[in-house]
Structure 1
Amino acid sequence: MAYVVTENCIRCKYTDCVAVCPVDCFYAGENMLVIHPDECIDCGVCEPECPAGAIMPDSDPRAANWAALNAEYAAQWPNITEKIDPPADADAWNGKDGKRDLLSSAPAA
């Protein structure tokens, strides 16, 4: 089992989770983070750290559509190991529904 980053991370991209991850399994896209499923040790320390509540176990039914996306982009995006500032408008995007179409496939700059 692993943890998965889901829709609410899109355009929020808080990195509090990255700061606590003991195995550095987060990868950064332009406007979202993902977790590499083969690197995640299922410790769960990242889940309560996410201000957007966007991280959940891959066993959660709400994570089903996001597990494959996490695996796909973790293989393409750069690894992130330190907390960075979120986008200036992150709080305005936190909790908004229907953000899936806003996901950028571009890696973080």
Structure 2
Amino acid sequence: MMLNEKNDCIESIVKTLERTSAWRRSLTARWPDDPRNARAAAWLDELAAGIVDLTDAQWEDLKPYYSWASEVWRNGLNQSTKQVGFYHRSGDLAFFIEALVHNLSPLSSVAA
């Protein structure tokens, strides 16, 4: 059961990363002189490929927030993926997971 939930979480993250990457690529046509969208799309693709390496410790950090039916989860994940390449200038998986946990935490939503 626990492994299935972790795998479902990974799948949820992959789908959102891929969707956001496609959206960023569509923006490159709109703003061809801004290299951030193409760079963000590449980082999002790298994260989508690398999320299969989600460690048990990272899963433990995400587990309290993950639910496939959770609006909080979807909103936090969407916010986190949209920040890649703009607010967060790193394609590092560990950094992304930290940012995701931060965006999911109740203190983050109070401060926003």
For CA contacts below 8 A with separation 6 or more, give which structure has more relative contact order.
Answer: 1
* TM-score, normalized by the shorter chain, greater than 0.5: no
- Structure whose alpha-carbon radius of gyration is higher: 2
Q: Which has the higher strand share?
A: 1
